[in-house]
Structure 1
Amino acid sequence: MSRGRLAAPAWRPGLLMLAAGALQVASFAPLGWWWLQPLCLALLAGTVQRATPRRAAWAGWCYGLGWLVAGLWWLYISMHDFGGMPMPLAALAVLLLAGLLSLYLALAMAAAAWLGRGHSPLLRGLVFAACWLMAELARAQLLTGFPWIASGYAHSEGLLAPLAPWVGVYGMGAVAALLAAALAGLVMAPRRAPALLVAALLLPVFGWLAPKDFTQPAGELTVSLLQPNVPQDIKFDPERFGENMASLQAQLLSATGQLVVTPESVLPVPRADLDPAYWASLVQPFSQGERAALIGTFLGDAQQGYVNSMAGVSARQLASGSFYGYGKRHLLPFGEFIPPGFGWFVELMQIPLGDQAHGTNEAVFEVGGQRVRPLICYEDLFGEDFAGSAVGPQSATMFVNASNLAWFGKHMMQEQHLQFSQLRAMEFQRPLVRATNTGMTAAIDHHGVVTQALPGWTTGVLDVTVQGRQGDTPYARWLSRCGLWPLWALVALVLLAARVMPRREGTSPTRASAADT
């Protein structure tokens, strides 16, 4: 009886946090209710600031679980519908992934409760935001990183959007957490919260008042973006290979842009295994003049490993018997490389070419006076990996993303990835165009605005005129030089300040930990 009475209060906030985390997903695309995120986070902030470290960890884990299950449920489709994994195992895999990733938030919220106890609302709010940032950075970088649906993406429009070229996606997420802590403070201690509210509003006000344009026009390029709309269940079917390749050939012949871009792996077999006559027919439209193409294929061989790549062809390269090759550098765990000890899991999913090699080339592809930086699917979540391509006089003037999202069904995932691309364009103030197999094929300007797009799950070619940009945003400069370390340093500074600053008597971390046992 006594144990039940003690356990019940912990379960009730856990269920509330589970619901709040799931509701937060509505702040991302496709709904895009960005204002909802600080409200959901305020529930977590208020719970953590009143909780012991152990219960704060439970609240953080439940919040993360609701958030990530609601935001990543479409992984079930890739594992069950296309990977052939039994339904219970596929559902369990999504749940386990979300649960494991939520451990970062659990540990961070425990630290927030431990270090924030006994301090002023202002310092407690800063500690909550720093711990939130710490959890997001850890999820983005540890064990190769999986930063999908990081909180800052919800703010590709709205109050915090002007901060993108200054602090990037993780900085925006930290500011959102600080706003949430301020909202919680207004409810919990309204007389002591104004200082925290002022601090939370300083950065958004700065974003709206500070300079917003850091890049300049660098000419225009016409681009044709191909959307073949090949269903995933027949993409690697050898009996449908000829039909699919004939359709691709027709699309390449009909495209008129100076640059033609296909989705990733539009050629679902290694380039070396293609019939030379067929490859010659694909690149023939680009053998004369100034036009070029980026074609999704696999480069490499069985000995060195196959690399998910974009092969760039132009008249100059074809005349010399060569082509540009960009290989995917940041691979997707389980889908493109096998983590140690998980070979059995990947075999269950039956993914073709499921263990790939990393690409190494970072050079831009030059066409029509523009310097194009390719990105393949999941890579554009890791701005720190290619920030160096967006600074300096010879930096890329535009980004191109090639994706195949047919693995994940028709709902939510495509819109999420488009939103992530929008924020990359905003951070570096570079246009970004996307060629996808089934959607969302689109053109995004340097302010993150989708200017043109094809409807999803249709076959078509999107012809766009893209204005290249040159110049460096503040975010691109510090990210290219230091990576994400300045944000880690900010976390350390806030947490150290909380550790050493005096507290109200009787509320030290040591005593709080003892009370929690």
Structure 2
Amino acid sequence: MRWRAGLALALGVLHTAAFAPVEAWWLQIVALAGLVWVVGRDPALPARRAALLGGLFGLGWFAAGLWWLFISMHRYGGLPAPLAAGAVGLLALFLALYPAAALAAWARWRSGRPALDVALFAACWGLAELARAAFFTGFPWIASGYAHTTGPLAAWAPWIGVYGILALAAAASGALALAWRGPGARPGAGWRPLAVVAVLLVLGPWLLPQGFSSPTGRLTVSLVQPNIAQDLKFDAARMDANLDALARAVEGARGQLVVTPESVVPLPLPAVPPDYWARLGQAVAAPGRAALVGVFLGDDRTGYVNSMVGLSAGRTVPDDSFYRYGKRHLLPFGEFIPPGFHWFVKAMAIPLDDQARGSTTAPMHLGAQRLRPLICYEDLFGEDFADSAVGPDSATVYVNASNLAWFGPDMVQDQHLQFSRMRALEFERPVVRSTNTGATAVVDHRGRVTARLPAEVAATLEAEVEGRQGATPYARWLAAVGLAPLWALGLAVVVAMAWRRRTAAAGPAGGGR
């Protein structure tokens, strides 16, 4: 059992390399296939031991993929290094419960028939990832489907989205592993499901229709990257200099649309001097120009909302008529405090740490374009804003404003950019990203990065983006019923296999009465 445990942990670490910045989509399938092989080679392996192996795989995956959280808690939150490292480890252990549950269920209800076991594994893995995205407000960071922003499975994005893709990838992994299931397997039995999955992988992109959106014209954008260190962002002694640098960046921008990172003005709106807003507004006061600026709306009584406000011709000073968008899906611990954890968050002294949710979902109009803001973590939850990709007032461009300075430049920036690329593939919409320290970039409707600034430099990315309209099949059914079809399909497979296993186990006893 020890060698299996060590191999499962190593495979989990290897699984992380499938995501950005390495981006080896095939490695995700190979690593997961290794886990299935480790568990599946022993038909009598108890569910609790399968759970342990799945948990160790998850521990390696999440510890290797989320280590950068240590930076936010230790360097900027001031927690002692052992406590910060322990917190990352506990989070990885908690998230590892999901793959542990998936492997336990698969080991408990597998039938020994490769085709059925492949379907069961895909269902168990898909349900575990859906649960991780939904339970406790959801934390789907580096969900396994994100490894497939490139490669053959990417063609499935406008049809079934990231969670459908990860189920197909799990099926491919299961089929690959069960083709070499080990001693006792019926010769050739494992190759039939492998052949079916290979067809889905190789021929799928050629058989699936693509191109559900059409152009709405081009828009020039100026994406501001101030590169302000997180420990200086809220420093009162540096506040005036930081705000002046932001104003000069907006004044020097050439694009029709100027976008700043989230909370780039780290103050509640009433605390911002009116003449400063007038300065920003005058920079984009010409007809056909606008800016989306990050600031906090709200007050002590109703709560503060991480927001983007729109400035344009005729609306150069925020008032009741200006465009505003407030973040709706908040980050646990960073933007809202789960019950029982106030002591932990207060120890890190995070400014404005317990925020209110926004309510606006309408896009901002600029000429022929309809701009839908997404603030940082929100773009992991396509199901929350799928309605913005359908209908006559659907978004033509998604605008992501982020601040990843909390976490350093390594890995996290590329991971978040990869999530934006998946949203572009799912909805066939371009995504423009303005971030504090990176990754500031433009992603076209095919998920390709067409322009990007280097990390940790103060600059403005001047680029052009083509807006798109038209709904993909995924956007249509996701907006109508959410992720319910994937939940229902996965549960149906698991229940059917559990019933089959129970019936088979009861058969001999019933026949002997």
- Bin the TM-score by the shorter chain: over 0.9
1:28-83 superposed Cα distances (whole Å, 9 cap, x missing partner):
00011111111110111122333221111101111111000000000000000001
Q: What is the aligned length? A: 499
Matching of residue 250 in structure 1 with residue 243 in structure 2:
no
Amino acid at match of 1:126: A
Deviations 1:74-123 (A, max 9, x none): 0000000001111111000000011011112211211111111x341010
TM-score (norm 1): 0.94
Q: Provide the rounded CA distance (Å) in 2 between the counterparts of 1:229 and 1:320.
A: 25
Percent of aligned pairs with the same residue? Answer: 56
Unpaired runs of at least 5, structure 2:
none
Question: Could you say what the CA RMSD is over the residues aligned between the two structures, in angstroms?
Answer: 1.6
Distance 1:306 1:504 in 2: 56
Q: 2:192 aligns with which of 185, 190, 195?
A: 195
Amino acid at match of 1:197: L
Task: Give the counterpart letter for 2:196 in structure 1.
Answer: A
Which segments of 5 or more consecutive residues in structure 1 lack a partner in the other structure? 1-8, 511-517
Matches within 5 A, 1:253-332: 253-318=251-316, 321=319, 322-332=321-331
Cα separation, partners in 2 of 1:97 and 1:407, compared to 1, 3 Å: same
In structure 2, the CA distance between the partners of 1:200 and 1:358, relative to structure 1 (3 Å rule), is same
Matches within 5 A, 1:1-400: 9=1, 11-49=2-40, 50=42, 51-116=45-110, 118-188=111-181, 189=185, 191-204=188-201, 205-318=203-316, 321=319, 322-400=321-399
Question: Shift in Å at residue 208 of structure 1?
Answer: 2.8
SS in 2 for 1:35: helix
Q: Residue type matched to 2:136 in 1? A: L
Displacement of 1:369: 1.4
CA distance in 1, matches of 2:374, 2:317: 26
* 8 A contact 2:297–2:304 mirrored in 1: yes
Once residues 288 and 459 of structure 2 are traced to their aligned partners in structure 1, the CA distance between those partners, rounded to angstroms, is 23
* Counterpart amino acid of residue 159 in structure 1: P
**TM-score (structure 2 length as normaliser):** 0.95
Q: Is the CA contact 1:119–1:503 (under 8 Å) kept in the aligned structure 2?
A: no
2:25 maps to amino acid = W
Matched-pair contact (CA < 8 Å) for 1:30–1:416: yes
Q: CA deviation at 1:206?
A: 2.4
Q: Report how far residue 194 of structure 1 moved.
A: 2.1
> 2:25 aligns to what SS in structure 1?
coil
Aligned-partner residue type, residue 413 of structure 1? V
**Would the alpha carbon gap of residues 502 and 137 (structure 1) be closer, same or farther in structure 2, given more than 3 Å must change?**
closer
The answer on whether the counterparts of 1:258 and 1:368 sit within 8 Å (CA) in structure 2 is: no
Taking the aligned partners of 1:128 and 1:507, their CA distance within structure 2 comes to 23
Aligned to 1:458: 457
- Contact conserved, 1:119 with 1:504, CA < 8 A, in 2? no
Contact 1:48-1:112 within 8 A present in 2 as well: no
What is the SS of the residue equivalent to 2:315? helix
For 2:411 and 2:304, how far apart are their aligned partners in 1?
Answer: 30
> How far 1:506 sits from its partner (Å)?
5.9
Aligned partners of 2:274 and 2:317 also within 8 Å? no
Match for 1:192: what amino acid? Answer: A
Q: Structure 2: how far apart are the matches of 1:329 and 1:483?
A: 17
| Secondary structure in structure 1 of the residue aligned to 2:11 | helix
**Residues of 2 paired with 1:342 and 1:174: CA distance?**
34
Do structure 1's residue 493 and structure 2's residue 492 form an aligned pair?
yes
